[in-house]
Structure 1
Amino acid sequence: MPDLRALPGRLLRAMLPSACALCGGYGDEAVCAACEQAYVLPVARCRCCANPVGALDAGRHCGACLADAPAFDATVAACDYTAPLDSLVLQLKFGAQLALAPWMARVLRAAIAVRAPDLPDLLCPVPLGPRRLVERGYNQALEVAKPLAAALALPVMPQLLQRVRETSAQSGAAPGERKKNVRGAFGVNVACDVRGRHVGVVDDVMSSGHTLDEIAVTLKRAGAARVTNIVFARTPPHA
């Protein structure tokens, strides 16, 4: 007997089909299956920072992480921040294309199944500062974290991390200034207890890694035992 609970969703998709954000074709999701298969490709990555590595080094720490270990313990990335997938991040972040967030969460769920056998105890999004949140009207990291948490059957704690200092956008900061730009920018909500817990930090894109490293420092100072970054896209080292 068919599951009648799924009928309203099927009817809605039939009446309001989605246009693929990449090719414009119609389908059930924000990105069609053909584009997903063509562009979301498996990449051998460093277990710690998720930068691409040789096939023999997949799942290990790269030389950079061995030489100067970041505060976070692992990173899961679904894809590289390169064309055409970089346009999806921009559409979500600046174009309010919120339908992309559940698709990104699903793609991330598949990446987690392959690269992260030990699930976090909880998920939290990278927070926006109050001014930027008012300007944008939503936090794209939270929009991805909510469906991802549901898919993983994990709690999501949007108020766990707080921006205690407004910062300029990392994309506009010189490479040598990015670490300084986010130093001391985050705090842990005193009402949230992370002592001894494994925290998954969700964001749309990871570039230099300085923001996520500062967050990991903050979480571990509050007692977190482990921090895993969960990001849709990872900027390649040469970019």
Structure 2
Amino acid sequence: MNCQPWLKALVYKCININHTCLLCSDAAEQRYPLCAACEQELPWLDEHCLRCALPLPMAGLICAQCSRRPPAFDQVIAPWHYGFPLDTLISRFKHNSQWPLGRLMAEMLSLNLSHRFQEGLPTPDLLLPVPLARRRLRQRGFNQAGMLGRWLSKALAIECDERLLLRTRETPAQQRLDARGRQRNLRQAFALASEASLKGRHVAVIDDVLTTGATAQAIAQLLRHAGARRIDVYCLARTAKPGQA
């Protein structure tokens, strides 16, 4: 008697259904470890700028800054705004090495992107994670953007290359700086590897959070100069302006 189909069914059930929610510890009853109630409570980003994903009061608008000075990138895709409890999940992933939380968020981002691809969002040829400064990489032990890029690459079947985009100098942490300070901080902070060939290609930059957009802008300018045809930014969350809910 061949019992292999039954075993496969058990494996499928274990992998896709028998999860515990990573937020409330109840049975998730979904293909990823998050229950429907906690998923609904996440700070979903519905109304936002069509270019930089800045949270706005209404959908379908472009923010004033992007209207006055269009960024070098084409579009930011972020499922959530940077609010509770997502801010805690990202912090625990980055600073406490709680990788299952990062894997969960990457899987949900990949589902969001797959849906957008089906609705007409252009699919990129290449994923490029934002590189981490060497000192910070030694302290943390991993690059969160690189891990997100690898998980997205597997889920979306899109190539991810962590070697083409380089961090050329150490810079102070962006969190301590205002918008202008972030821009000055990132001047000549990135470079492309000598073997990079991006002319005519559609690339997506991968990061965890987009705050002022200074990092995305600096990298997008570099990629434009290298001949990239389209540049998108995929991140987990987008912050609001200071003082904005």
**TM bucket, shorter chain:** 0.7 to 0.9
**In structure 2, how many angstroms separate the alpha carbons of the residues matched to 1:138 and 1:177?**
26
Q: TM-score, normalised by structure 1?
A: 0.88
CA distance, structure 1, for counterparts of residue 217 and residue 182 of structure 2: 11
Structure 2 residue 193 is matched with structure 1 residue 192: no
- RMSD after superposition: 2.4
Could you tell me how far apart the structure 2 residues matched to 1:9 and 1:135 are?
38
The runs of 5 or more residues in structure 2 that have no matched partner are: none
**How far does residue 198 in structure 1 lie from its aligned partner after superposition?**
0.8
What corresponds to 1:32 in structure 2? 35
Task: Give the fraction of aligned pairs with identical amino acids, expressed as a percent.
Answer: 37
Distance (whole Å) between structure 2 residues aligned to residue 106 and residue 193 of structure 1: 29
How far 1:139 moved relative to its partner?
0.8
Q: Is the 8 A contact 1:30 1:99 kept in 2?
A: no
| 2:211 aligned partner, one-letter code | S
SS of residue paired to 1:99: helix
In the alignment, is residue 50 of structure 1 matched against residue 77 of structure 2? no
Change (3 A) 1:155 1:3: farther
How far apart are residue 13 of structure 1 and its match? 8.1
C-alpha distance 40-10 of structure 1, shift in aligned 2 (>3 A): farther
Asked if the contact 2:45–2:78 (Cα under 8 Å) also holds between the matched residues in 1, the reply is no
Match of 1:231 among 213, 230, 235: 235
Report the counterpart of residue 63 of structure 2 in structure 1: 62
2:99 is the alignment partner of 1:98: yes
SS in 2 for 1:202: strand
Residue type at the aligned position of 2:73: F
For residue 77 of structure 2, what is the amino acid of its counterpart?
A: V
Shift of 1:26: 4.4
Which SS does the other structure have where 1:47 is aligned? coil
What residue number does 1:167 align with?
171
Residue aligning to 1:214: 218
1:77-96 correspondence to structure 2 within 5 Å: 77-96=78-97
Partner of 2:128: 124
Gaps of 5+ in 1: none
Distance in 1, Cα, partners of 2:54 & 2:129: 21
How far the C-alpha of 1:220 sits from its partner, in A, is 1.1
* Structure 2 counterpart of 1:108: 109
Shift of 1:233: 0.5
Distance in 2 of aligned mates of 1:163 and 1:184: 9
Partner of 1:155: 159
In 2, Cα distance between equivalents of 1:166 and 1:134: 12
Larger Rg: 2
Alpha carbons 1:74, 1:227 under 8 Å: kept: yes
